[in-house]
Amino acid sequence: MNEEKYDVVVVGAGPAGSITAKTAAERGLDVLLIERNPEIGVPVKCGECVSKEIGRFVDIDRRWVCAGIRGTITYGPDGTKVILSVEGAEEVGYVLERRIFDKGLAQEAARAGAEVRVKTQAYGVVNDGGYAKGVYARTTEAEADIRISADVVVGADGVESRVGKWGGIDTTLRLADVATCAQFLMCDVEVNNEYCEIFFGDDLAPKGYAWIFPKGDHCANVGLGIGADVSSGNHCARDYLNAFVGGKFPNGKIIAEMYGAVPLSGPVYETVANGLILVGDAARHVNPITGGGILEAMQGGEIAGDVIAKAVQENDFSKRRLREYEKRWRKEFGKVLKAGLNTKNIVLGLSSQDLNRFFHALEGEMITKEFSNRALLKEIIKRNPRILFKLVRMIF
């Protein structure tokens, strides 16, 4: 077995992993970022819609952007229409091309000094005295497996997070805390090119929602997610999506299909162990009410990279030292994730009649000061007293 040594090894080159690697490399660390797939950004398992707030973490390259959006339009089960936009803003977010975006973030990490390696799959964590001390990996480019030693291992390996399990963190989720998703990239479709559209209804997407996100030139991501606990037989996400597409775009052309799972549990476990940090979907940094997590992935990755650099400088990789990461991300966006979880649980617990009432309270245009999960949740709470009493302490 070949052996290599780095300060940090990051497993998974999605947004969370690349920003972690970039930040750590900028702090002067010797960083290896590995990705099991032969191409970063492929396959795509994302609706690709994100707030302009990502500009806080990286300079936006317009090649990453398929469409700029002015806001979202959400439809209740009976068709009640809710428009979310930002006061005075013509563009509040983007529909990305993740194949290009993810590669761009990995390139940023490489420019900062990180080594980026594809077709490299971790299959275990090196354990030494109760500490994660690297990973075992295999690659088609090497004749033998590799022992990659590192002071800190970062699990950026998505919803399944085997790195977390190998490091002693129980990352198991209940089916009720997971959405199974299906998405078609469609062309020859007429869509609203200025707004992302979202559709709710038990008949349409039980314990979830459907979406239409414009990608320009009469193309769009059309998808939906349903609760994994209600998926079975001929009632899986793809079946619901076929029905949705058949009604909306009977003459549209499907040019790509994407399937995956999204964690909707909120922050349910610790995200650090001795010598190990979890980021992004692996850390459950996804807002349960929207299913979006790109911004949180990047924000968490930046915090992780900074904390790891401090740990290397102090030569202390204990769980106690790395817990600074946990404290900081919980302070920065943990309350919003918890509020999103409680809101999701309340909304999913409503009858069809009550869900329509919920949307009736929001009907019309909601103009906020920013296009963010926090702003959305505040507006929902303000207009729905039933939710207000349960969540106000967590938001304000």
Report cis status (omega within 30 of 0) of the bond before 43. yes
CA–CA separation, 218 and 132 (whole Å): 49
How confident is the model at residue 386, as a pLDDT? 64
pLDDT digits (tens, 9 = 90+) for 181-209: 999 999 999 999 999 999 999 999 999 99
Prediction pTM value: 0.92
pLDDT in tens, the chain (396 residues): 899 999 999 999 999 999 999 999 999 999 999 999 999 999 888 889 999 999 999 999 999 999 999 999 999 999 999 998 888 888 999 999 999 999 999 999 999 999 999 999 999 999 999 999 999 999 977 778 999 999 999 999 999 899 999 999 999 999 999 999 999 999 999 999 999 999 999 999 999 999 999 999 999 999 999 999 999 877 899 999 999 999 999 999 999 999 999 999 998 889 999 999 999 999 999 999 889 999 999 999 999 999 999 999 999 999 999 999 999 999 999 988 998 898 888 888 788 888 888 888 888 988 888 877 677 777 777 777 665 555 444 444
What integer pLDDT is reported at residue 350 of this predicted model? 80
Q: How many CB atoms lie within 10 A of CB 28?
A: 13
pLDDT at position 396, please? 43
**Predicted pLDDT at 242:** 97
pLDDT of residue 388: 54
Rounded to the nearest 10 degrees, what angle do helices 15-26 and 294-314 cross at? Answer: 30
Tokens of 25: 């490399």
- Beta-bridged to residue 147, according to DSSP, are 3, 136
CATH number of 2-45+99-172+266-340: 3.50.50.60
Q: What distance in Å separates the CA atoms of residue 208 and residue 261, rounded to the nearest whole number? A: 12
Residue 395 is predicted with a pLDDT of 43
The pLDDT value recorded for residue 136 is 97
Note the pLDDT of residue 80. 94
Identify the residue whose tokens are 């303000």.
382
DSSP string, 255-323: EEEEEEEEE-S-S-S--EETTEEE-GGGGT-S-TTT---HHHHHHHHHHHHHHHHHHHHHT--SHHHHH
